[in-house]
Structure 1
Amino acid sequence: MFKRLTIAAALAAVPAAAVAHHGWSSYDESKPITLTGSFQTVTWGNPHGTATTRWQGKQWGIVLAPTSRMQARGLTEAEIAPGKRVSITGYARRDGAPEMRIERVMVGGKTVELR
C-alpha cells in the first residue's frame, strides 16, 4: 500500500513540476531588446537566476541562466548585484507580461552569453 501511494505521489508531482517551469517558446525571439541600467533585485539560484528592473514604467522580471552556467562563462554575482550598471539583451514575453528572458549581459567591458 505504501509503495503504491509513493508512486502515485511521484506521478502527481511530475505535471506540477513541468507546469511550474516556463518554456522558452513564450518569449518573442524575433524582437530582441537591449536595455542599460541596473537590477533592483538579483536571486543567484537554481533552476536559474532571476532579477528585477524598472523599464518602460513597469517592474520587469528578468530570467537569467543557471548559476553554474553564468559562473562557467565568467559572470559573477557581484558583477550583477543590485545597483551595478549592466546592459542586457533578451526577449520579452509574447503575452505582454513584463518579463524578459536574457541572452547576454554586458558588464565591466565584457559580454557574457547566457544561452
Structure 2
Amino acid sequence: MLVHRRHCILALATVPLWARAHHGWSSFDAERPIYLAGTVRKVRWQNPHAELELELPADLTVPGDLAQRAIPAQTAPVDGKALLAKSVVPRRRDRLWQVELAPLTRMQAWQIAEIKPGAAVSLVGFTLREEKGDAVLRAEYLFIDGKAYALRSGPA
C-alpha cells in the first residue's frame, strides 16, 4: 500500500500544475467578474476545454473603456454589459494565471484560431471564491486581436 501511494504521489507530481487546476464551475464566484490581461506563456488546445497560462503585467488595471466594448450575442442569457461594468482586477498578486476557456467545439463555433504562446489577450471571467487556492480564471469573455468572444455558449 505504501509503495502504491508513493507511485500515485509521484505520478501526480509529474503532471504540470496548470493541468491539475481544473475545478467545477460551482467553485467560481460569479458575482465578482475579474479582468485579466497579459501575454500567453503556455497553451493547452484540447478538450475538455482549452487552457492558457497567462503572465500578467505588474501594473494591471481595468481599461477605462471595458464597459463600452462591443460584445457578441450568444445563446446563453448573459448580461455581458453588466459583467464588463462590474469587472475588477484580482486582489491576489500572482503574475501567472491559469485560464480555462471553452470546449474546442465552442471555440470553433466562434471561429477562434488556436492561440499561440506570445499572444496578447485580455479576459473577463471568474476566480475561485474568495480567490482561494490556485490562480485560476474561468473565462467568460475573451478579447484578442481587436475582437471579443463570448465563451459561455455558442453564437446567437
For normalisation by structure 1, the TM-score amounts to 0.73
- By how many angstroms is 1:90 displaced? 0.6
Which structure would you say has the larger Rg? 1
1:69 equivalent to 2:110? Answer no
The normalised TM-score by structure 2 is 0.55
* Residue aligned with 1:46, SS: coil
Structure with the higher fraction of residues in strand conformation:
1
- Distance (whole Å) between structure 2 residues aligned to residue 70 and residue 100 of structure 1: 17
Give the equivalent residue in structure 2 for 1:86: 121
Secondary structure of the corresponding residue to residue 40 of structure 1: strand
The 5-angstrom pairing of residues 92-111 of structure 1 reads: 92-94=127-129, 96-97=132-133, 98-111=135-148
Contact in 2 for aligned 1:28/1:93 (Cα 8 Å): yes
Say what the alpha-carbon RMSD is for the aligned residues: 1.5
Q: What amino acid is aligned across from residue 24 of structure 2 in structure 1?
A: G
**Residue deviations 1:16-66, cap 9 Å, x none?**
xxxxx6321100111101122111101000011111123423422111111
Counterpart CA distance in 1 for 2:55 and 2:120 is: 13
- Distance in 1, Cα, partners of 2:145 & 2:55: 21
User: Residues of 2 paired with 1:65 and 1:90: CA distance?
Assistant: 12
Structure 1, unaligned runs of 5 or more: 1-20
Among the aligned pairs, what percent are the same residue?
41
Determine the C-alpha separation between the residues in 1 that align with 2:151 and 2:48.
Answer: 14
CA drift at 1:104: 1.0
1:10 matched to which residue of 2?
none
What secondary structure, in the 3-state scheme, does the structure 2 residue paired with 1:68 have?
Answer: helix
Matches within 5 A, 1:1-115: 22-55=23-56, 56-77=93-114, 80-94=115-129, 96-97=132-133, 98-115=135-152
